[in-house]
Chains A and B, each alone.
Chain A
């Protein structure tokens, strides 16, 4: 059982569509981070959410932290081929830094 479960695991959409990726846990996190990783490279930090209920926007990406700080979501508006990659949520519930199971996104031109 993974501490951070992401859904969906795989997502293939057409350019211009919207999508949401979910990151869920039964543990409480003081913060959650979202990363994007391209093949053969290390993860690149996108955002950190800290406060329960917090919403952060990064151009076409909207990140939300659940009120109870156990879950988070990433919404992408009008997806572009450049958004293709592995999206990872991550955080430390108090003992160790964990990564989510990952969502592999493919945006088809």
Chain B
């Protein structure tokens, strides 16, 4: 399968713990995006990479959130000191050069108890 993959699909954690999610984009895509989505709402932009460079970060993104794409391939999103308000679906998408479309992974559902 050559689509976008995310791991894990589900994560349950206690408040105050750190969590890390992984995204593997479509191999030839150089752009990678992270989004957060709550129930019934559209995805909300978090951050964006072009190759290994993080070019944009939402002003809504707390300092507890950090993302990396060390070799321009897979990416990780870490949330430190999780809060109940962090409970959401975290989506990753990749996009090729000179194309409009983004292709999404299945998401990681985070539940903070």
Contacts and interface: CB of A to CB of B under 8 A. Distances in A.
Nearest to A101: B42
Interface residues of A, number: 26
A94 interface: no
Contacts of B104: 35, 42-45
B45 interface: yes
A19 to B, nearest CB: 18
Of the listed residues A41, A43, A50, the one surrounded by the most CB atoms of chain B closer than 10 A to its CB is A43
A101 B42 CA distance: 5
Contact of B33 (A4, A35, A48, A97): A97
Contact of A45 (B44, B101, B106): B101
A50 B99 CA distance: 11
Contacts of A4: 42
Contacts of A50: 100
Contact of B100 (A35, A48, A100): A48
A45 B41 contact: no
Contacts of A101: 41-42
Contacts of B43: 43, 88, 99
B102 interface: yes
Interface of A: 4, 30-31, 33, 35, 40-45, 48, 50, 86, 88, 90-92, 96-102, 104
24 contacts: A4-B42, A31-B100, A33-B101, A33-B102, A40-B107, A41-B107, A42-B106, A43-B91, A45-B101, A45-B102, A45-B104, A90-B102, A96-B48, A96-B56, A97-B45, A99-B42, A99-B44, A99-B45, A100-B42, A101-B41, A101-B42, A102-B40, A102-B41, A104-B40
